[in-house]
Structure 1
């Protein structure tokens, strides 16, 4: 909070000089767009602003801006918290409600991606392999089965983070068969992805299903996936109700979700799942079109009590974990974040579910000294409104990472103010290229947490979370910038 005594006394000392110089100062400071900015932000006059900058420290200016925002119409009735933290002195520079648990939205990804990097390593990759059993005769006929062995690659076929498209992987697999002299497959294409066994589970509570026109469907099991079935059934709400809702049921997670708007003829086709099953179906289709007959079908085999002897034909490696995390944080990719959560669960507990991932992340945070008071970690992406964390816990967590060997990679993954990712349209003036942070956005929730390079060369850590604000997202973003900008001079 602000110590106003020094501020008031300093203004009093310069009061007479200010009165005499008022016309001159006004001429210098006034710009046509200033009045609109002043009224919208409820800020002091241009003259007062000049005096403040002359006689007040950057810390005092930060504090004054925080106090001003308390009565701002946009934030007055909101629940919000803020902290700027010095990682060298381990002290709070300025704060407001820093110990209040708040909905973090996508800044939750800071915890998820760091846990994955810490436990798996920057160079971790997922493998998707093509193998075959049986033997190849003199006519190039494989009397055996083809196997596609998946490992839960969340980027498979997506082109995200440099990942190959399905067609490129299929082409590589076909080249592998050509090297083996295989011209016909007298057998099945078997998908073996034991990681996904039983992976239809209850989804995180209180998840936002439709946000800013983006429909979110988490990955389910790969069991019996057929691309033709990836549709959502629409059930219209009460036609007499003014508040219509359209309900969708996924064939994979068997749960109903809703959206406020629907345009279509009764069936909504969503993006195809990133699963080895889709790869296998595409592979079979392409083989047949290429003149390589396949007598069998695509079939999943989650467990195999008596595995056949097999030979490796080709192996596709995903981009590195650091590449995946860069894409996740830059684009705030919910699907990749949830996949990372399940991957750490599988690697640590042998069970690729949200529940296992959640246990692994919270245990990791506890072991790293994370302030668990106020933490409620529900999902990996931040889509659940039941997630909670305090600003001071986020700031101290980010501070602790500065000692890790992967800190530089982690920092690089964060959007840069005015330049990249989800921060490209913020800090286009002051703070451009100096703010490295993860954004978070849900309806009436706006958050920002990360690092700040000050004009004097310091690195500071900050967290700013606003829940239940009034007005638009852009209005909140402007106020967030206003709070943080003076800290650049610390």
Structure 2
């Protein structure tokens, strides 16, 4: 950095001297002492004008960056900046690139990418409606309705194109009516499951799962489970052995997926995704208002070693994970980001706690080769000031993602300068439509990280984080735009 400052200082002095020489206000030719040995080649006093100084785009970026260090808004701030070439994998220009700074909502870059990497862009959460018992000729269901959920974070919210509770309840009502059900002599029971449609090599750890039709139900914990019953998965079950139960889990002893034909362990202890009570209550109200009485109540059943035989009625599918990630990053939705963090924890460890989510994200980042120095990943949204990351780690991470199959989905989820999401009202001049990045805002924290397209068509990666700035949010936003403006000419 010292060498850079000395270089910039020298170029700045030369630039100023030559401009002064062109002004005509002085008859004495001025130039920096560091260039004294070049005096013979400079124009004489009788020359009409000095040669025009042409600076490269990189020199302009460096000079502009050097000037920002003394800007009143940034002078006493903690801030860092990196502009990075993903092709050469080299830093083009930087300032405090290894400083550990509060990233605010650019934390969502880590959360949403972990979800895509773990689950896949086409992943959907399924909420299925079933019934048990018998349906008589008069339309009386002597049994229960079951809502089998899978932890859909968008359920009922309308976010990312998701349906509202009332819309889903109306669809479920229509399916119940088409089946001929006129009265339910039973309850509406809620359970959570892992659906087979979302093909994954390994089920969530720490839980024993009972195979049940097209999904797995949680029945207990793997803690202290007896390894004597474990069998490696080598063949599909026989269709003639319908009465045989198969319990699947990740063995804590060999760390492989196994199954057993009996379970003698403990009940579920870890936190499963929240049951869709709001949907169940909405459905019950909709049924009753439509003249379909429900004699029982809404109840949750966390685990069930002996589930009733059930029949399928209908299902609701969430938007794809790609759509949810898009909504999360475009609107900087904190609730969705925190839900994705906890779902990442659940899908890996079978536990929807914040700590499990953190562990999964950190493990994912380590596996990716993320530079963990200066990183403290505390929550999924970036609301906490306990989050810290370095600018250089962010740009290298974003560079590595460019080779992933889901990179286009990830890239498309980022707001576009002057056009979409949280960048819609920024870069309305220089940079319009050329910056694709996640924003971040907390009190006295403003951040931006992502990709930019230069005027020549290059794709560069950048990170710009400003902590403890002076002045207003609009003032620091203007400085950030000014820092990035000359990089568009690289």
Change (3 A) 1:274 1:432: farther
Deviation beyond 6 Å, 4+ runs, structure 1: none
Q: Alpha-carbon deviations, 1:374-422, whole Å to 9, x = none?
A: 0000111101110000000000000001111111111100000000000
Structure 1 length normalisation: TM-score?
A: 0.76
Change (3 A) 1:65 1:14: closer
2: distance between equivalents of 1:420 and 1:313? 40
Moved more, 3-12 or 413-422: 3-12
Q: Does 1:306 align with 2:306?
A: yes
SS of residue paired to 2:319: coil
Q: Alpha-carbon deviations, 1:48-88, whole Å to 9, x = none?
A: xxx9x962222222222222222222111111111100111
2: distance between equivalents of 1:85 and 1:274? 42
1: distance between equivalents of 2:115 and 2:193? 21
Q: 1:7–1:56: 8 Å Cα contact kept in structure 2?
A: no
Q: 1:158–1:274: 8 Å Cα contact kept in structure 2?
A: no
Q: Which residue of 1 aligns with 2:129?
A: 130
Change (3 A) 1:323 1:19: farther
Q: 2:128–2:147: 8 Å Cα contact kept in structure 1?
A: yes
Q: Does 1:279 align with 2:283?
A: no
Q: Which residue of 2 aligns with 1:181?
A: 180
1: distance between equivalents of 2:390 and 2:408? 24
Q: 1:454–1:488: 8 Å Cα contact kept in structure 2?
A: yes
Q: Which residue of 2 aligns with 1:460?
A: 460
- Aligned equivalent of 2:11, options 6, 21, 29: 6
Higher Cα radius of gyration: 2
1:179 CA drift (Å): 2.1
2: distance between equivalents of 1:111 and 1:117? 10
TM-align CA RMSD? 1.8
2: distance between equivalents of 1:153 and 1:185? 26
Q: 2:140–2:181: 8 Å Cα contact kept in structure 1?
A: yes
2: distance between equivalents of 1:382 and 1:194? 29
Q: Which residue of 2 aligns with 1:106?
A: 105
Structure 2 length normalisation: TM-score?
A: 0.76
Q: Which residue of 1 aligns with 2:73?
A: 74
2: distance between equivalents of 1:306 and 1:406? 40
Q: Does 1:57 align with 2:56?
A: yes
2: distance between equivalents of 1:400 and 1:120? 19
1:18 CA drift (Å): 3.1
Q: Which residue of 2 aligns with 1:451?
A: 451
Q: 1:86–1:93: 8 Å Cα contact kept in structure 2?
A: yes
Q: 1:155–1:274: 8 Å Cα contact kept in structure 2?
A: no
Q: Which residue of 2 aligns with 1:95?
A: 94
2: distance between equivalents of 1:334 and 1:274? 18
1:130 CA drift (Å): 0.8
Change (3 A) 1:153 1:89: same
2: distance between equivalents of 1:361 and 1:14? 53
Q: 1:87–1:460: 8 Å Cα contact kept in structure 2?
A: yes
1:14 CA drift (Å): 4.1
1: distance between equivalents of 2:446 and 2:275? 33
Q: 1:240-389 counterparts in 2 under 5 A?
A: 276-389=276-389
1:6 CA drift (Å): 2.7
Q: Alpha-carbon deviations, 1:191-238, whole Å to 9, x = none?
A: 11368xxxxxxxxxxxxxxxxxxxxxxxxxxxxxxxxxxxxxxxxxxx
2: distance between equivalents of 1:129 and 1:89? 50
SS of residue paired to 2:14: helix
Q: Does 1:156 align with 2:155?
A: yes
Q: 1:194–1:302: 8 Å Cα contact kept in structure 2?
A: no
Aligned length: 383
2: distance between equivalents of 1:297 and 1:305? 22
Q: 1:447–1:464: 8 Å Cα contact kept in structure 2?
A: yes
SS of residue paired to 1:410: helix
SS of residue paired to 1:55: coil
2: distance between equivalents of 1:54 and 1:174? 76
1:188 CA drift (Å): 0.4
Q: Which residue of 1 aligns with 2:413?
A: 413
1:19 CA drift (Å): 3.6
Q: Which runs of 5+ in 2 are unaligned?
A: 27-49, 195-272
Q: 1:32-43 counterparts in 2 under 5 A?
A: none
1:301 CA drift (Å): 1.2
SS of residue paired to 2:169: helix
